[in-house]
Amino acid sequence: MEKVMVKGTEAIGEAAIRAGCRHFFGYPITPQSELPEYMSKRLPEVDGVFLQTESEVATVNMLYGAACTGTRVMTSTSSPGFSLMMEGVSYMACAQLPAVFVNVVRGGPGLGDIQPAQGDYWQATKGGGHGDYKLIVLAPATVQEAVDLTVLAFDLADKYRTPTLILADGLLGQMMEPVEFPEFRDLSTLPDHSSWAMTGAKGRKPHIITSFDIDPYILEKMNLELVKKYREIEKNEVRWEEFKTEDADIVITAFGTVARIAKSVVEMARKDGLKVGLFRPITVWPFPYEPLKKLAEKVDLFFDVEMNMGQMLEDVKLAIGGEKPVAFYSRMGGVVPTPNEIYEALKKEFGRRE
Amino acid sequence: MRFIFAGFGGQGVMLMGQILAYAGMIEGKNVTWMPSYGPEMRGGTANCTVVVSDEPVASPVVDKAETVVAMNIPSMIKFQNFLVENGYFFLNKSVIDREPDKKEDIKIYKIECNEIADKLGNLKVANMVMLGAVIGATKIVSKESVFKALEKKLTGKKAELIELNKKAIEEGMKKVSEQ
């Protein structure tokens, strides 16, 4: 298929449609409004439904309703908007409803600003909403990967009957890059949800989809079912990328946009004869603890770089287990670190330990 | 090769970068286009960053550039120190009536984009005059690829402007060949 140049937000939209998504509910918020705008134009062309809701709370509950029918459904938002959806996300996780969320993260906390940031890592991977639940969280670093992971997000949501999340940021959303889109999925080949979905109960027992049971012993059974599912996901769905780690003395850990910038830092360091590599989680949940732990056996220093106060840093340290030092560099508030800036910080850290 | 295109909003700097990126893609190169957005755009300059490379593009964010295109004075001041040694500095002479502080070890091209565009009959193609100068001097992509990119990008009612844009590109290329 021919390559086309598209913005990250539009790429996610088109990928969703090709994956068989025919329902989109959303409320505008910068820097991702191009995505609902794109869907408002494209979905009617494929007999889909685009609906601009009155709020993010309405959005998530419309997703809940649509997902109950087994259809592929999606929304996108940015940080404060995702916070507003948290109650519904927790309900959907409990009710085991497949749906895809996109959070194009901006500077926070609070109203923050509209520039790229990664401050929602904890919210995305450690809960965010109430209760014991997890989301499968995919963190693309290029526009092509945003396309590929969007399709994957729908497939995983269906496979595990769980909400999934694309964790992007304003930079990836706004930039353009050539991409190759996958073929359109034949809707009749999508997973069959007739065993649990609301498809009309004529001639069969009604299906009940709920996130509630007043009996703690029954609710605990529901909890255990979720836990079993999450263990399964941890076993099967861990994804990551390693770049020039084979002989690396120093490994940069980073996700999303920052990982991409860090790749340039690796190249710069290699030119100067420094053996630097990059470890990039693609699924930030489930986090690639084991591969990172394995890497720690031969690496002298880890250098975690994020656009937040050190959120993934906790998982990196958990993986490495105190065996090796982990230094940290960060920019916040929507400031994007440049390659030279990261490289200078890395050299300083390396020099301090030599 | 890393490019920064900067100017006032409305001078078409975003399109300049997009056409270059598109042309690079047509030639099978790896490209990224990254716009400035949000409040920084309101501070006098809109800008975009383009990377064109034979290798996969790692960082779309640049703090050094082989080419800086400044369509106005604030852009010249803001981005002159991004230039690497032997870098290309393109200045829109129609708007920039002063010298840059940075002059050593770089190649400076001053192009009267607005006058040339005006002569062609439409001030709006000043950006394409400049893009012509950029590809003429850097040889990063061929004229034919830029033309193809224009045909892809300017569709519908804008298609009538393709010929004019092509002429503007050619005028810009002519201008640098004379310098």
Contacts of A5 in chain B (CB under 8 A): 18, 21-22, 25, 31, 33
pLDDT of residue B108: 97
* ipTM metric: 0.93
Backbone angles phi, psi at A143, to 5 degrees: -65, -40
Between CA B77 and CA A43 the distance in angstroms is 45
CA distance A77 to A336: 20
* Residue B173 near residue B132 (C-beta atoms within 8 A): yes
Residue A252 clears pLDDT 60, i.e. is over it: yes
Radius of gyration of chain B (CA): 15
Q: A338 and chain B: CB distance < 8 Å anywhere?
A: yes
Give residue B42's pLDDT.
57
Domain count along chain B: 1
Rounded distance, CA A305 to CA A343, Å? 11
Q: Which domain holds residue B163?
A: 2-178
Contact criterion met (CB < 8 Å) for B37 and A176: no
Domains, chain A, ordered by start: 4-236 (3.40.50.970), 241-353 (3.40.50.920)
Q: What is the pTM of this model?
A: 0.96
Closest CA to A257 of A339, A196, A189: A339
3-state secondary structure of B86: strand
Residue B179 pLDDT grade (very low, low, confident, very high; cuts 50, 70, 90):
confident
- The burial class, CB within 10 Å (0-12 / 13-18 / 19+), for B105 is exposed
Phi-psi map region of A343: left, alpha, beta (phi>0 left; psi -120 to 50 alpha): alpha
| CATH code where residue B168 lies | 3.40.920.10
Q: Can you tell me the distance from the alpha carbon of A175 to that of A142, in angstroms, rounded to the nearest whole number? A: 9
Which pLDDT score is estimated for B97?
A: 94
DSSP 8-state code for residue B161: G
Q: Which residues of chain A neighbour B36 with C-beta distances below 8 Å? A: none
Q: What is the pLDDT of residue B40?
A: 58
* CA distance, residue A161 to nearest chain B CA (Å): 35
Percent of chain B surpassing pLDDT 70: 96
Give me the residue label for tokens 């060949």: B177
* A205-237 pLDDT per residue, tens: 999 999 999 999 999 999 999 999 999 999 999
Report pLDDT digits (tens) over A304-349.
999 999 999 999 999 999 989 999 999 999 999 999 999 999 999 9
Quote the minimal CA–CA distance from A241 to chain B in Å.
14
Number of residues assigned to chain A: 354
Q: What is the mean pLDDT of chain A?
A: 97
pLDDT of residue B43: 54
Burial profile B141-153: b = 16 or more Cβ within 10 angstroms, e = fewer: beeebbbbbbeeb
* Percent of chain A topping pLDDT 70: 99
A300/B35 Cα distance (integer angstroms): 37
> Which residue is associated with the tokens 């497949």?
A98
Instruction: Name the token pair of A37.
Output: 């705008």
Q: What integer is the mean pLDDT of A184-188?
A: 97
- pLDDT in the model for residue A353: 79
Confidence of residue A350 (pLDDT cuts 50, 70, 90): confident
SS (H, E, C) chain A: CCCEEEEHHHHHHHHHHHCCCCEEEECCCCCCCHHHHHHHHHHHHHCCEEEECCCHHHHHHHHHHHHHCCCCEEEEECHHHHHHHHHHHHHHHHCCCCEEEEEEEECCCCCCCCCECCCCHHHHHCCCCCCCCCCEEECCCCHHHHHHHHHHHHHHHHHHCCEEEEEEEHHHHHCEEEECCCCCCCHHHCCCCCCCCCCCCCCCCCCCCCCCCCCHHHHHHHHHHHHHHHHHHHHHCCCEEEECCCCCCEEEECCHHHHHHHHHHHHHHHHCCCCEEEEEECEEECCCHHHHHHHHCCCCEEEEEECCCCCHHHHHHHHHCCCCCEEEEECCCCCCCCHHHHHHHHHHHHHHHC
Q: Does A336 touch chain B (CB under 8 A)?
A: yes
> pLDDT value at position A254?
98
Percent of chain B with pLDDT over 90: 89
Instruction: Look at residues A4, A89, A72 and name the one whose alpha carbon lies nearest to residue B31.
Output: A4
How does pLDDT run across B90-142, given as a tens digit for each residue? Answer: 999 999 999 999 889 999 999 999 999 999 999 999 999 999 999 999 999 99
pLDDT at residue B38 tops 80? no
Closest Cα of chain B to A146: distance in Å? 14
What pLDDT was estimated at residue A135? 98
User: Measured between CB atoms, does B35 come within 8 Å of chain A?
Assistant: yes
> What pLDDT score was predicted for residue A235?
98
Q: What chain B residue is nearest to A114 in terms of C-alpha separation?
A: B38
Q: Is the pLDDT assigned to residue A198 strictly greater than 90?
A: yes
Average pLDDT, chain B: 94
Integer Cα distance of A276 and A270 in angstroms? 7
A30 shares contact with chain B (CB less than 8 Å): yes
Separation of alpha carbons A15 and A294, rounded Å? 34
CA dist., res. A167 & res. A122, Å (int): 11
Contacts of A139 (CB under 8 A, 6+ apart): A166, A167, A168, A255, A256, A281, A282, A283, A284
Average pLDDT over residues B142-167: 95
Asked if the peptide bond before residue A339 counts as cis, ω within 30 degrees of 0, the response is: no
**Residue A250 contacts residue A329 (beta carbons within 8 Å):** no
Q: Count the residues in chain B.
A: 179
